[in-house]
Amino acid sequence: MIVAAALLCLPMQGQDGWQMQDSGTTAGLRGIDSVDGTVAWASGTGGTVLRTVDGGLRWTQCAVPDGDKDGATLDFRGVQAWDAMTAIVMASGPGDKSRLYKTLDECKTWVLIYTNPDKDGFWDAVSVADQKSLMILGDPVDGRFSVFDSEDGGKTWNRSRDDGLKSTIKEGAFAASDSAMLANWVDGQVAFGTGGPSGARLFYECGTCKVGSQWTASLIPSFPKREAAGIFSLNYRNWKRWVAVGGDYTKPNQSAGTAVWSFDGGKIWTASVTQPHGYRSTVQWSESLKLWITAGTNGSDISRDDGKTWQPLDDGNWNALSLPFVVGPKGRIARLNAGALPKP
């Protein structure tokens, strides 16, 4: 707590690092996917889906999926887009409130492609390789994490029965930013992070590494051991250099236990020497800027050394990243102003 308080007293560098945009909504936004920096999609509470085709100068509100039924009650925690016409959105909620919809016509209409089959389930993340290959991560049901995949664009789904997904402790994944799961579709490798009173764990599976490969889980001790704490987001620069962020979302200003890094594909993890200045729900590598950005409910930070140390960027309220965009509660959307980043 002393460290967190000291960091709060520091002047935030790069206050103009994010340039606010007008989203036209007050919905809580947790999903964001930038196709190319010009076309981007965002999603959130109240059945909200937004789209821009001009880099965020204007965001337009899409038709609500199942708007004539209960679509306005859905919380779209994830969005993945291919272009200005085509995207999917994932609703997270108990049982059949977790759903996947797809649009092919600039979000004028939506088609329901999958509904959570588990009445006690809750979806946390969705990942896509192309319009055929899809994967969904959900919290444990009957003592096993729920992993569904489709190879035909969502017409049929397979559920993994791998014993490596078993969970005998109180834990779950977090749907804060649709980035608790990390998929390397080229090499057939998938990982996701968890949290809870017993600590954070990393689940990992490599389907192309060896015949009969199974999911394995390992404890990441750097994160707090509390019900609201753990790994909230994973990302990689390449499949060797990873960063994971999180903390306790009920303690947004606590910096201890919020970031770790790995140089060997997630086998060995090391806590950042200088942590982000609070709980973080999202992290991403910028190839063009050669740095990492992480964000959460009390601001954002950057790292130029693969997660070893972090510099404060701003003190805004954010949920999810898809560079150059960041989104947060009450309709907050901003675009990165690279020229205002703090100097090394």
Domain containing residue 163: CATH number: 2.130.10.10
Per-residue pLDDT reduced to its tens digit, 182-205: 998 887 889 999 999 999 999 999
Q: What is the 3-state secondary structure (H, E, C) of the chain?
A: CHHHHHHHCCCCCCHHHEEEECCCCCCCEEEEEECCCCCEEEEECCCCEEEECCCCCCCEECCCCCCCCCHHHCCEEEEEECCCCCEEEEECCCHHHCEEEEECCCCCCCEEEEECCCCCCCEEEEEECCCCCEEEEEEEECCEEEEEEECCCCCCCEECCCHHHECCCCCECCCCCCCCEEEECCCCEEEEECECCCCEEEEEEECCCCCCCCCEEEEECCCCCCCCEEEEEEEECCCCCEEEEEEECCCCCCCCCCEEEECCCCCCCEECCECCCCCCCEEEEECCCCEEEEEECCEEEEECCCCCECEEEECCCCCEEECCEEECCCCCEEEECHHHCCCC
The domain in which residue 326 lies consists of 2-340
Counted domains in the chain = 1
How do residues 281-314 score in pLDDT, each as one tens digit? 999 999 999 999 999 999 999 999 999 999 999 9
The pLDDT of residue 145 is above 80: yes
pLDDT tens column, 1-31: 223 333 333 333 335 799 999 999 999 999 9
**Model confidence pLDDT, tens digit, residues 217-265:** 999 999 999 999 999 999 999 989 999 999 999 999 999 999 999 999 9
pLDDT digits (tens, 9 = 90+) for 156-175: 999 999 999 999 999 999 99
Whether this prediction's pTM lies above 0.95 is answered by: no
